[in-house]
Amino acid sequence: MLVLGVETSCDETAAAVVEDGRRVRANVVASQIATHAPFGGVVPEVASRQHVATIVPVLERAVSDAGLTFRELDAIAVTAGPGLVGALLVGVETAKALAFALGKPLVAVNHLAGHLAAAFLEHADATPPTYPHLALLVSGGHTALIRIDAPGQTRLLGSTRDDAAGEAFDKVGKMLGLGYPGGVQIDKLSATGNREAFALPRALPARDDVDFSFSGLKTAVSTLLSGRKAPPEGAELADLAASVQAAIVDVLVRKSRRALVREGLGHLQVCGGVAANRGLRAAMAAAAAEDGFRLYIPPVKRCTDNAAMIAAAGSQALQRGERSSVELAVDPGLPL
């Protein structure tokens, strides 16, 4: 089965073709980062307009990269939420028009289910997680620990009470003058910094839950900066970046370990844009070696937003018999 995935929930216009839910035949991502960078974050209206300008060439490119014509596709999967409403509309309306014109089935995909499905795409040196397993979903909009018993069968165990992990990276990055998106810059700087140079708070450590909170970290960095004459630079900036990254990563690792024990699970998958973070990948690998759980983190390009993960989740949904009609509407607040 050849499924075309379409993703426009935020600032990536993406299309991909996935065969049998596993094999990535084409994966095209047109990033809008350069467009939004001068504003220090994603501007929703600008994102929608750019999706409108880019979506058709991106779709054409994905289908031709897969060595196919549109008529050879078996189905179309599209992100219907959560995300920016105007951005989602572009993908959903285009996918609906395409499905209608081609007479092919259409299926709506939850963006978060897409991130969770990325682990099931074929990858040379890893076998996908088995069920049941735990997922740590860390992105710009979400931070959650989810128990997954079967495809589409999920239970939310804990989530952030304020900022998402990616949001914390990006907001602190902005305070440090690192540009957008801050997460990637903090990751780069951390490579040469000392993670113990600045003592930063780890939220909710003693609580027996698996929830997160990152607003205190943001405040701590803001207080630290306001007490100084000049912003840190050079080696000191790298030290601060490394300390911020360590504070975020420590909490993500600690709560994931706690959830694995509490749920009696031996497999963890980490997904979402923040799963691209090298500090998080290394710390999770160390925890897995120490505790003896099996860890799966997709390759970096499948952690950040892409449409291959949407096609993979769409394939799972189609197999369960799900179909969407041409009346499909976007839902910016869609829960998992």
Distance of closest approach, residue 30 Cβ to Zn ion, in angstroms = 15
277 touches which of Zn ion, ligand KG4, none (CB within 5 to 8 A by kind)?
ligand KG4
Distance, in Å, from the CA atom of 29 to the CA atom of 268, rounded to the nearest integer, reads 27
Distance of closest approach, residue 110 Cβ to ligand KG4, in angstroms = 12
243 touches which of Zn ion, ligand KG4, none (CB within 5 to 8 A by kind)?
none
Residues that bind ligand KG4 (CB under 6 A): 10, 139-141, 166, 169-170, 181-184, 187, 272-274, 276-277, 304-305
Of residues 214 and 293, the one with the C-beta less far from ligand KG4: 214
The CB-nearest residue to ligand KG4 is 273
For residue 82, what are the CA distances in angstroms to 108, 166, 200, 280, 325?
Answer: 11, 16, 31, 25, 19
246 touches which of ligand KG4, Zn ion, none (CB within 5 to 8 A by kind)?
none
Q: Measured in whole angstroms, how far is the alpha carbon of residue 19 from the centre of its chain?
A: 22
Distance of closest approach, residue 141 Cβ to ligand KG4, in angstroms = 4
129 touches which of Zn ion, ligand KG4, none (CB within 5 to 8 A by kind)?
none
Residues 105-144 that bind Zn ion (CB under 5 A): 139
Sequence-ordered list of residues with C-beta below 8 angstroms from that of 2, at least 6 positions apart, any chain: 17, 18, 19, 25, 66, 68, 72, 73, 74, 75
For residue 159, what are the CA distances in angstroms to 31, 138, 165?
Answer: 27, 10, 10
Please confirm whether the linkage preceding 132 is cis (ω < 30° from 0): yes
Distance of closest approach, residue 14 Cβ to ligand KG4, in angstroms = 10
Residues of 134-172 as b/e, b for ≥16 C-beta within 10 angstroms? bbbbbbbbbbbbbbbeebbebeebbbbeebbbbbbbbbb
Distance of closest approach, residue 206 Cβ to ligand KG4, in angstroms = 26
4 touches which of Zn ion, ligand KG4, none (CB within 5 to 8 A by kind)?
none
Specify whether the CB–CB gap between 44 and 84 falls below 8 A. Answer: yes
Distance of closest approach, residue 263 Cβ to ligand KG4, in angstroms = 24
Of residues 187 and 305, the one with the C-beta less far from Zn ion: 305
Specify whether the CB–CB gap between 80 and 335 falls below 8 A. Answer: no
Of residues 17 and 144, the one with the C-beta less far from ligand KG4: 144
For residue 186, what are the CA distances in angstroms to 46, 157, 237, 281?
Answer: 25, 28, 10, 14
Distance of closest approach, residue 31 Cβ to ligand KG4, in angstroms = 10
304 touches which of Zn ion, ligand KG4, none (CB within 5 to 8 A by kind)?
ligand KG4
Residues 299-328 that bind Zn ion (CB under 5 A): 305
Of residues 123 and 262, the one with the C-beta less far from ligand KG4: 123
Strand 143-150: give its sheet, edge to edge: 153-159, 143-150, 133-138, 267-271, 294-296
**Would you tell me which residues interact with Zn ion (CB under 5 A)?**
139, 305
